[in-house]
Structure 1
Amino acid sequence: MDAEFWHSRWAENRIGFHLNDVNPKLIKHWPAVSTSRDDSVLVPMCGKSLDMTWLAEKHNKVIGIELSDIAVRAFFSELFYIPTVTSLGNGQTMYELDEITIYCGDFFSTQIDPIDVVYDRAALIAMPEPMRLMYAERLLSMVKAGGRILLITLDYPQPEMDGPPFSVTQNEIEMLFKGCKITALERDEADESHPRRQRGLSRFAEEAWLIEV
C-alpha cells in the first residue's frame, strides 16, 4: 500500500475511518497510560482527528504525523485555527499552533525528538501485514525508554473483508512489540447490529492495549 493510495482517499473524501468526535476509547483508557501534562504525545497518521485537540487540553506538546496535506489543512481550517507553517525540505511541512504540531510527510522519514507517549488508533491497522513490523520498529525507535503506547486495534477474520483497516491479532501484537510489557485493556465484541457485522463479518472486535516500552 503506497502513499498514492492515501492521497487518493483524502482527495476523494473517502475517509470512513475518520471519526467526527473524540474516540470514546481514548477517553476511557487514557488514565491507564498514567501521563503527566509535561509528557509529549505522538499521534502517528493523525489525519484530521479531533483526538488531537482532546490530547492538547491535557498535554503541553502533542505531535501528529500525517501523509496527506489535505488532512492537515482540514484539521486546522475546520477548527478555525491558523497555524504557523514551515517548509522543512524533502517534501515535508510543519504546522504549529500552541500545543499542537503536525508534520506533513512520510512517517518513516519524519525526524522528531524522542516521545514519552504514543496514541495509535488508526496507524498500525492501516498497514498491510508486510509493513507492520517496519512500522512497529520505527515507532519504538521514537519512544523514550519507559514510554507508553495506547494502541487501538481490530480483530476480525481477514479473509472476510479487504483492509484497510486490517485485522491485527493478539499474537501479532505480541510479536511486533516483543520485549515490551503488553496489557490488554479491553475487547469490545460487536453484536450483529454493528455495521461491520451487517456487511457480512462473522465477528468483529475493537481492542485496546497498553504497551510499556
Structure 2
Amino acid sequence: MDAEFWHSRWAENRIGFHLSDTNPLLIKHWPALQASREDTVLVPMCGKSIDLDWLAQKHENVVGIELSQIAVRAFFSEHLYTPLVVEQGNGNAMYQFDEITIHCGDFFTVNAEPADVVYDRAALIAMPESLRKAYVERLLSLTKPGGRILLVTLDYPQDQMDGPPFSVPEAEVKALFEGCQITHLERDDADETHPRRQRGLTRFAEEVWLIETPALAL
C-alpha cells in the first residue's frame, strides 16, 4: 500500500471518497448480516466515515483501522468526542471513545482482534490489483470463522479511468473470496448524468456483496 499517497490525500484534503451522510447502501443491506448488538464490527480503512457513528448506534464495539492520523483526529474532533489515546509503538496508536475504537496504523500490520462482522465500502477498491490478494487474506484473518462481510465494490472499464477507486468486477470478487459463500445483493448502474459517466466512462456501477466465511469444523 502506498502510504505516502494516502497521507498526501488527507493532508491536501483531497478526499472525494468521503461521504457527508451515512451510506444508504449500508443502511439498506446491513440487516443481511444478521448481526447482534454484541457482535464486534470491523471497518477497514475507515477514514473519518460517518458510517462509524451509525454502526455504533447498533453495536457495542465498532473498530476502525485507518492509516492517516489526520483522518482519525478529524473523526473525533468533528463529532466533539474526546478519545482515550493509547500509543502502541512504531507510530501506531489506538483511539477509543464509548463504542468506537480506531486503530491508527497500517492495515497490514496493526494489532487488531478478529471481528464478527465487517463493513468494507472503500478499502478493497482502494487497493491496486497487485495488493488485493494480500488485502483479502489479511481481512479474512481479521474476521472470525463464520463471520460476515458487507462489501461494496465498483465495476467500470479500468482502462477508461485511473484508480483509486479501482474497478473490482464480479469475477475478481469471486476469485478473491474463493472458499467463502458469496451472495450478490445489489448492482446499481449509473446513468449518463452520473459524474463518473460525464467524465467519459461508458459504464459505472456500484455492487454490494455479502461474504460469509467458513465456520470452524466441529
TM bucket normalised to smaller: over 0.9
Matching of residues 102-181 of structure 1 within 5 Å: 102-181=102-181
**Post-superposition CA distance 1:45-101 (Å, at most 9, x none):** 000000000000000000000000000000000111110111011210100000000
Equivalent residue number for residue 36 of structure 2? 36
**What TM-score, normalized by structure 2, do the two folds share?**
0.97
User: Partner letter of residue 2 of structure 1?
Assistant: D
Unaligned runs of 5+ in 1: none
Q: Helix, strand or coil: the match of 2:168?
A: coil
How far the C-alpha of 1:112 sits from its partner, in A, is: 1.5
- Tell me the distance in 2 between the aligned counterparts of 1:131 and 1:170: 17
Secondary structure at the aligned position of 1:93 is classed as strand
Are 1:19 and 2:19 an aligned pair?
Answer: yes
For residues 152 and 145 of structure 2, the distance between their equivalents in structure 1, rounded to whole angstroms, comes to: 21
Could you report, residue by residue, the CA deviation over 1:170-189 in whole angstroms, capped at 9, with x for unpaired residues? Answer: 11001110000000000000
**Residue 111 of structure 1 aligns to a residue in which SS?**
coil
Per-residue deviation, 1:114: 1.6
SS in 2 for 1:59: coil
How far does residue 9 in structure 1 lie from its aligned partner after superposition?
0.1
Give the Cα–Cα distance (whole angstroms) in 2 for the partners of residues 2 and 190 of structure 1: 29
3-state SS, counterpart of residue 172 of structure 1: helix
**Count of aligned positions:** 213
Q: Distance in 1 between matches of 2:41 and 2:107?
A: 15
State the secondary structure of the residue aligned to 1:28: helix
Offset from partner CA, 1:82-141 (integer Å, 9 cap, x none)? 101110112101000000000000000012222100000000000000000000000001
1:87 aligns with 2:87: yes
What's 2:206 paired with?
206
User: What's the CA shift for 1:27?
Assistant: 0.1
| Offset, 1:146 | 0.5
Identity %: 72
Pairwise CA RMSD: 0.5
Distance 2:177 2:75 in 1: 30
* 2:216 aligned residue: none
Is 1:96 the counterpart of 2:96? The answer is yes
Q: Following the alignment from structure 2 to structure 1, what is the Cα–Cα distance between the partners of residues 68 and 112?
A: 18
